[in-house]
A and B are shown apart, each in its own frame.
Chain A
Amino acid sequence: MSRINPRAVLLGLAAPVGALLFAAAFCAVVLAVTGHSAGDAVDAMVAASQRPRTFVNSINSAVQYYLAAVAVAIGFRMKLFNIGVDGQYRLAAMLSAALAGASFMEGLPSVLRVAMTIAAAMLVGAAWSGFAALLKVTRGVSEVISTIMLNSIATFLVSYLLNPDRLALENPGSNNVSTPPIGVGGQVPGIPVAGSSSDLFGLLFLAAAVGVVYWFVLSRTRFGFELKATGLSESAAVASGVSVKRMVVWSMLLSGAVAGLVGMPQLLGSSYSYSLDFPTGIGFIGIAVALLGRNNPVGMALAALLWGFLNNTSNSLDISNIPREIIGIMQGIIVLSVVIAYELVRRYRVRAEQRDVGRALGRTKAATAEEVSA
């Protein structure tokens, strides 16, 4: 839009900020009631925020959350709920780790190795989400149900494959099982940060690029337009020449491909192999982050940072004798109150807009009271 409407900006900020404040207040009350000091909690979090290591870890977490959120958001744009990002990234990380660690990769140039690993992960992610898409377009099976099932099936498949008889390494004496380690040439170097022992993920830039591409595709391309149109009204989209089935397939595939990336920063920047303790559950965090960021590329980045920070303060809270479980409550409250706040703001905006239309058309009586009829 040509003009920046201050009201729109204000309203856009009101919801998340209001929800955050509400969640913080709620948690403070919970802490106080259960005999903890909210002040200590704040101190602990402030202290954490000033520690370079927490900073790095938060950003690194955020990078993964962001990728997961984008994957979720692609579907959300057309009201398609890819709950299966979790299974998709785990399977993708596992298989691409096996590929990256395979001995024949050793001879290849580094860039090619990394590119192949990432491409493999995207393919696997897309293939796994493709199942859900296929079931939906051919058989009308809700993707909510099928992706939930596929998540569980992915778990079993990964444990089947992560076995010395198959893709994992024979590693006697270790209590962990993992794929062959990825050699230096297959790794993505991190960015050192002063005062922190861990580096920022090099694939931070990949996440940023994904964000830019996401923004561009959705707001500037025909595909993005059709995705949005389908989300707003499937019937109108069909009448306008959009093939909804094709949109379902493409958005699921794209979502799965991005989901495949979720495990890459960790795999290529820190773990260098897929093992039993590879982080899980990021797909579900992605859903929360996408909701919080309203599928907006910048909004999701901020939300991912918030989530990353919150999840990396648990150690500090623990040290200060604040139950870190409060973080879980806080996150739940944030999401619940933010969606309610968005809804309230949306209603307010619609009414305000209609009032504007009415005023422009001279149909409103001059001094009608601010009737709010909802």
Chain B
Amino acid sequence: MTAGLIAGVQTAPPPPQRRGKRPAWLYAAIALAALLVVSAVRTLAGATDLTSGGTVQAALTAAVPLAMAALAGMWSERAGVTNIGLEGMMVLGTFGAGYAGYQWGPWAGVVFGLLLGVIGGVLHAVATVTFGVDHIISGVAINLLAPGAALFLSKLYFTRAPGGGQKQSPPLSDVTRITIPGLSDGLGTVEAKHWFFVSDVAGLLRGLVTQVSLLTVLAVLLVAGSAWVLWRTPFGLRLRSCGEAPIAAESLGVNVYKYKYLAVIASGAFSGLGGAFLAISSGQFRDGQTGGRGFIGLAAMIFGNWRPGGLATGATLFGYTDALALRGSAAVHALLLLLGIALLVVAVMQYRRGARVLASVAAVLGALFALWYFLSDQVPTELVGAAPYVVTLLVLGLAAQRLRVPKAVGEPYRRGQGK
């Protein structure tokens, strides 16, 4: 049962036939349709921030640590080890970045964050792979230990450092941010016209070419690189086989322990990186800085069906709602309408699939959100921040369909004990 625990969908039937790869143009079409709807809502509600370059930029920045956490989760779970210790490993990463970053520059911070994450990964691997401890339990333990250790160390090292404190590092300098000069400004001009669709696309693009941190670039490369390594190399195949059928892998001479170790250590490294990115992009290590991003990353991974493209989408979605919520409540108000429309779309899709009950629930919720939009001027400030979490629950509850959990995830494995 542990296997299904972390799985988004457990009791839902396995995905029907169509398991073949869906063509790229389909995804492109879906993205285009979504953009059209968003820009319609933007025009209707006058919430320019919905698609502004600034929002995209903020969403990207917010998405990067989440994507790293999700990637970390994917590496580990693809090899069969559930990792809810991501949060703790990220905390270690933030500390590592703070410690090295203020002394030797941001890139040293990145490396140190990664290394400290690795330590967390090693702990988790020792507990789960070598000692066969329940993966969730080990993860919980790491989530307890890591913040304690980070706090202890930060008091030790930062209290007397200039600009530091017991719970925060001295300021860290940022890595280079790149802007494509002519393009960025040109797009900005178009964006400012508020033309239907055109300005929205311009905003989107502007966000992608303005003030892009090298860390963001690195993150994108890591996501793509993970996809390549896991799906195109012998190493990746072996690693995935450990999450699907470790005993079969063992019987073909694959050293399952080794791959599980490597995967969990990689998971630690990615979490650490996520933490480091967070610390560096906010210019400081601070106690409690991760704020549950490890968990959200996990949700993004499930949302993304344990695949790099999917989890990047999930992370971006969270980053987007988070950015909107922080940037201003006018856009969040428009988000209500967007959510309403999305739910109605889900309702139609579920209805066509034959899921009547689900369709009606989605329809009712969709109508309620739309109604809320039309009957109010703004979302109460106290509730704005809840948007990413509500959206996650709605997505998992109403839309998630074909999730395919790595088959042996969460199961204890011992060499030579296969039946």
Q: Which residues of A contact B (CB under 8 A)?
A: 30, 34, 79, 81, 135-137, 139-142, 144-146, 148-150, 152-153, 155-157, 159-160, 163, 231, 234, 245, 284, 287-288, 291, 323, 325-333, 335-336, 339-340, 343-344, 347, 373-374
Instruction: Please indicate the chain A residues that have their CB under 8 angstroms from the CB of B137 in the complex.
Output: 291, 339
Given the known inter-chain contacts A160-B382, A328-B149, A339-B138, please indicate yes or no for A149 contacting B389, CB distance below 8 A: yes
Interface centre among A136, A144, A373 (most CB of B within 10 A): A144
* A137 vs B4: C-alpha distance when bound (angstroms): 13
Minimum CB–CB distance for B288 against chain A, Å: 11
Once bound together, how far apart are the Cα atoms of A298 and B142, in whole Å? 25
Residues of B within 8 A of A135 (CB): 393, 396-397
Task: Name the one of B131, B380, B396 contacting A340, with C-beta atoms under 8 angstroms.
Answer: B131
Roughly how many angstroms separate A17 CA and B49 CA in the complex, as a whole number?
Answer: 58
Q: Which 4 A-B pairs have the closest CB atoms?
A: A328-B148, A332-B145, A325-B152, A156-B386
Q: Mark B386-407, 1 if CB is under 8 A from A, else 0.
A: 1001101100111010000000
CB distance from A342 to the nearest CB of B (A): 8
Contact, CB under 8 Å: A327 / B389: no
Shortest distance from the beta carbon of B5 to any chain A beta carbon, whole Å: 6
Verify A153–B389 contact, CB threshold 8 A: yes
Closest chain-B Cβ to A300's Cβ sits at a distance in Å of 15
A149 and B299 form a contact (CB under 8 A)? yes
A343-B136 in contact (CB<8A) = no
1/0 per residue B223-266: CB within 8 Å of A? 00000000000000000000000000000000000000000000
CB-based contact A137/B11 at 8 Å: yes
Asked whether A144 lies within 8 Å of B6 as measured between CB atoms, the reply is yes
B141 within 8 A of A: yes
- Residues from chain A with a CB closer than 8 A to the CB of B145 are 328-329, 331-333, 335-336
Tell whether, in the assembled complex, residue B151 and residue A141 are in contact, meaning their CB atoms are under 8 Å apart: no
Min CB distance B316 to A, Å, is 18
Q: In the assembly, what is the distance between CA of A57 and CA of B140, in Å?
A: 26
- Show 16 A/B contacts (Cβ-Cβ < 8 Å), sorted by A: A34-B156, A136-B10, A139-B9, A140-B9, A141-B393, A144-B136, A146-B397, A148-B295, A153-B389, A234-B1, A287-B140, A288-B144, A325-B155, A332-B141, A340-B131, A343-B132
| Cβ-defined contact, A145 with B152, below 8 A | no
Supplied contacts A142-B8, A142-B10, A329-B149, 5 more A-B pairs, CB within 8 Å: A144-B5, A291-B137, A325-B148, A327-B148, A328-B149
Q: Which residues of B contact A373 (CB under 8 A)?
A: 416
Q: Which of A30, A79, A145, A330 has the most CB of B within 10 A?
A: A145
Closest to A336 in B: B141
A328 touches B151 (CB 8 A): yes
Cα distance, A336 to B144, chains bound together (Å): 9
CA distance A139 to B9 in the complex (A): 7
The answer to whether B5 touches A141 (Cβ under 8 A) is no
- Confirm or deny: B278 has a beta carbon within 8 angstroms of a beta carbon on chain A: no
Q: B133 contacts the other chain (Cβ, under 8 Å)? A: yes
Contacts of B149 in A (CB 8 A): 328-329, 332
Asked if B24 CB lies within 8 Å of chain A CBs, one says no
Q: What is the CA–CA distance of A373 and B416 in the complex, to the nearest angstrom? A: 10
Q: Inside 8 A of B147's CB, which chain A residues have their CB? A: 328
CB pair A335 B11 closer than 8 Å: no
Q: How far is the CA of A156 from the CA of B332 in the complex (A)?
A: 15
- Cα-based distance from A144 to B5 in the complex (angstroms): 7
Q: Is the CB of A141 within 8 A of B295?
A: no
Encode B33-76 as 1/0 by CB contact (under 8 A) with A.
00000000000000000000000000000000000000000000
User: Nearest Cβ distance between residue B169 and chain A, in whole angstroms?
Assistant: 15
Across the interface, name the chain A residue whose C-beta is closest to B287: A325
Q: Nearest chain-A residue to B12 (Cβ)?
A: A140
Q: Is there contact, CB below 8 Å, between B6 and A332?
A: no
Q: Which of A160, A231, A330, A374 contacts B380 (CB 8 A)?
A: A160
Q: State how many angstroms separate the Cβ of A198 from the closest Cβ of chain B.
A: 26
Contact B133 A339 (CB under 8 A): yes
Please, which residues of chain A bring their CB within 8 A of the CB of B9? 139-142
State whether A140 touches B11 (Cβ < 8 A). yes
B295 smallest CB distance to A (angstroms): 5
* Docked CA distance A217–B271 (Å): 41
Known contacts A140-B9, A145-B298, A340-B127: A160-B148 contact under CB 8 Å? no
- The residue that B393 contacts in the complex, of A30, A146, A157, A336, with Cβ under 8 A, is A146
Find out whether the CB atom of B383 lies under 8 angstroms from the CB atom of A160. Answer: yes
B6 touches which one: A34, A142, A329, A333 (CB < 8 A)? A142
Name which residue of chain B comes closest to A331, CB basis. B144
Q: Of the candidates B84, B140, B393, B398, which one forms a contact with A149 in the assembled complex, judged by CB atoms under 8 Å apart? A: B393
Chain B residues numbered 11-37 whose CB sits less than 8 Å from any CB in chain A: 11-12
* A323 adjacent to B156 (CB under 8 Å): yes
Partner of B5, one of A81, A152, A153: A81
CB distance from A94 to the nearest CB of B (A): 13
Contacts of B142 in A (CB 8 A): 332, 336
> What 0/1 readout, one digit per residue, does chain B (278-300) give for beta carbons within 8 Å of chain A?
00000000000000100100110
**B10 and A140: CB pair below 8 A?**
yes
Task: Report how far A142 CA is from B4 CA in the complex, Å.
Answer: 8
Measured CB to CB, the nearest residue on chain A to B388 is A152
Most-contacted residue by chain A among B7, B134, B140, B151 (CB, 10 A): B140
Residues in B neighbouring A234, C-beta threshold 8 A: 1
A343 to B138, CA, bound (A): 11
CB distance from B148 to the nearest CB of A (A): 2
Q: Which residues of A contact B295 (CB under 8 A)?
A: 145, 148
A186 CB, nearest partner CB in chain B, Å: 27
> Nearest residue in B to A234 (C-beta to C-beta)?
B1
Q: Which residue from B11, B146, B382 sits with its C-beta under 8 Å from A159?
A: B382
Q: Decide if B310 is an interface residue (CB 8 Å cutoff).
A: no
Q: Which residues of B contact A347 (CB under 8 A)?
A: 132
Cα(A149)–Cα(B300), bound, Å: 12
Contact of B160 with A by CB under 8 A: no
User: How many whole Å from A152's CB to the nearest CB in chain B?
Assistant: 4
Indicate if the CB atoms of B156 and A343 lie closer than 8 Å. no
Given the known interface contacts A148-B295, A339-B141, A343-B131, the answer about A325 and B151 at a Cβ–Cβ threshold of 8 Å is yes
Say yes or no: A139 contacts B148, CB within 8 Å: no
Residues of B within 8 A of A160 (CB): 380, 382-383
CA of A231 to CA of B134 in the docked complex: distance in angstroms?
13
Q: How far is the CA of A22 from the CA of B238 in the complex (A)?
A: 36
Contact of A142 among B7, B141, B383, B416 (CB under 8 A): B7
Knowing A139-B400, A326-B152 touch, does A81 contact B382 (C-beta < 8 A)? no
B385 on interface, CB distance cutoff 8 Å: yes
Q: Which residues of A contact B7 (CB under 8 A)?
A: 140, 142
Known: A79-B2, A288-B140. Contact between A148 and B11, CB under 8 A? Answer: no
**B302: CB under 8 A from chain A?**
yes
Contact B396 A231 (CB under 8 A): no
B-chain residues with CB within 8 Å of residue A157 when the two chains form the complex:
383, 386
Partner of A343, one of B11, B133, B151, B385: B133
CB-contact partner of B8 in A140, A231, A336, A339, under 8 A:
A140
User: Which of A81, A136, A330, A344 is B136 in contact with, Cβ under 8 Å?
Assistant: A81
Q: Which residues in A have their C-beta under 8 angstroms from that of B146?
A: 332
Q: Are B396 and A148 in contact (CB under 8 A)?
A: no
Residues on A with C-beta less than 8 A from B367 are none
